Amino acid sequence: MPSMTYREALNQALAEEMERDPTVYLMGEEVGHYQGAYKVSQGLLARFGEKRVIDAPIAECGFAGIGVGSAMVGLRPVIEFMTWNFSLVAIDQIVNNAAKIRQMSGGQFAIPIVFRGPSGAAAQVGAQHSQALESYYVHIPGLKVVAPSTPADAKGLLKASIRDDNPVVFMENETLYSTQGEVPAGEHLVPLGRGDVKRVGTHCTIVAWGKAVHTGLAAAKLLAAEGIELEVVDPRTLRPLDEELIFESVKKTGRLVVVQESWPVASFGVDIAYRVQRACMDELDAPVEVVSSADVPMPYARNLELEVLPSADDVVAAVRRALYLV
């Protein structure tokens, strides 16, 4: 399989879907003439023209609303936020319109729209640009929430999201755009709601998504030197969640550490912990651990930023607690 970056995989998914289906279009800030803030849309304007690659003004609520309206009348918009932090300006359109219109219309309107863009912390971009907001959106019935961790998953999940008849919140971690990985050529789809085991192990299950998958894998590598084998499960889609894959892994290992970049209070990681203790109580040999960012706004200083974000060492410490090694 060819190797490419995460951003190239997303670009390929967009190009393939726009070529396949003329109702698919891209709208957002700097997606056209600037080729995308993170170059995900590079080359698309020249290939598909200004009617299908639309540079929007700095007005997230406005162009998100245009996307919802166009989805109601048969188009398949992909709405790019320059960062998911800016989606908060458009949260009324996402939560009160996109998520609810299909149900409130008795199914008369499908809302085949994808809201996508970078999520989580980058490096020293400040508290207002360093938030992992998946717990906000996974809370909302009517939305699907996706968080790919690899280039192959990014391509396959984006293609599946564009073809879905429901609104999809597609969160691309800001630090993953340059990561490399093998990506199947041509028609590669990853079904929404189906997770993946990124590493097989026997002593403890790690559940993580997006960038946190790589944190979990780094912890697994550290502990493997001591003979402790972690199983890393990536749900890929947070809503709908592949519960059975997680339960199967926890029943095998008897332990669970959830790793997330978002804050700990009322987070999706806590929701996973609840679901697992309810379904796997008899198989659990230790309390579920949840590793999160510190419960503070992100500092600007790099040394403090690294203290706030979950690290491989934090995951190792949580696994040791779960194994009663401390």
The single residue of 8, 17, 29, 60 carrying the catalytic annotation is 60
Q: What Cα–Cα distance (Å) separates residue 278 from each residue in 177, 269, 275, 287, 323?
A: 36, 14, 5, 12, 20
The single residue of 17, 29, 80, 129 carrying the catalytic annotation is 129
Taking alpha carbons only, the member of 217, 242, 254 closest to residue 232 is 217
The span from the CA of 2 to the CA of 181, in Å, is 8
The span from the CA of 53 to the CA of 259, in Å, is 36
- What contacts 85, CB < 8 A, 6 or more positions away? 128, 129, 130, 131, 133
Taking alpha carbons only, the member of 200, 230, 203 closest to residue 215 is 230
Does the annotation mark 60 as catalytic? Answer: yes
Does the annotation mark 174 as catalytic? Answer: no
Q: What Cα–Cα distance (Å) separates residue 187 from each residue in 13, 21, 76, 192, 237?
A: 9, 14, 19, 16, 20
Which position has the token pair 């971009």?
125
Taking alpha carbons only, the member of 264, 283, 301, 78 closest to residue 169 is 78
Which position has the token pair 């939560």?
95
- Catalytic residue IDs: 60, 129
